[in-house]
Amino acid sequence: MSLSKSLKRTAFFLLSDYLQAIYLNPIRTKALTSCVIAALGNVSSQCASGNKKIDWNSVKAFGLFGLIFGGTVPHFFFILLEKLVGNASKNPVIIKLAIERLLYAPFYQFLSLYMLARFEGKEHVEAYKQMSKLYWGVLKTNWTYLTTFTLLNLWLVPPMLRVLVVNCIGFFWSIYLATARRKQELTKKGSSTD
């Protein structure tokens, strides 16, 4: 019983500290949160795939992407979205969803695939080729599986916490992205040995 109370108390203090940090330093807090979540998603993907050895270069790439882009880009996107659409229009959530799914998601998937490859040390041409091979499949999967979560995020979550929700969903998306990129790398290596 006391363990349960101490866990609740700890969770409450962590949440309270997080909310204070997000209020005082929103960009830094969101960037650090995204960094940790993206790196953990990558490690989880590698462990789930049965890797005996962690590819720390890939973990570093995901962490760097989260730190530089994963907190900041969504932060400013959601601010802009609120300013552009707000709640004044007739169906603000549907309009926000359409903008997010049709403009932001394609841009963000392009950015993530390209920058992850660059952060892993690939040259521009190689990063662009890898991004080109994966882009449409990743974007279609994003539209298929994340649209409902995006709708719920825009509809139910206060603007201040939307990036946190995106990052939590991003944990599972990082696992998917890391797996898709690893499969593409293995296919590339297999075809180059033939």
| Residue 6 lies inside a defined structural domain of this protein | no
Q: What is the pLDDT of residue 182?
A: 83
Domain assignment of residue 95, yes or no: yes
Question: Is 41 among the domain residues?
Answer: yes
* Confidence bin at 61 (pLDDT 50/70/90): very high
User: Is 70 domain-assigned?
Assistant: yes
User: Measured between alpha carbons, how far is 135 from 137 in angstroms, rounded to an integer?
Assistant: 6
Burial state string for 105-123 with b = 16 or more CB within 10 A and e = fewer than 16:
beebbeebbbbbbbbbebe
Structure tokens at 139: 């974007």
Residue 15 lies in a domain: no
- Give the pLDDT score at 2: 63
Domain membership flag for residue 18: no
Residue 171: domain span: 28-192
Residue 11 within a domain: no
Highest average pLDDT, of 1-15, 19-33, 178-192, comes from 19-33
Average pLDDT over residues 11-30: 92
Tokens of 112: 């993530």
**What are 147-170's pLDDT values in tens digits?**
999 999 999 999 888 988 998 998
Q: How many domains does the chain have?
A: 1
Q: Residue 44 falls within a domain, yes or no? A: yes
Mean pLDDT score, 47-68 = 93
Nearest residue to 163 via CA among 59, 14, 25: 25
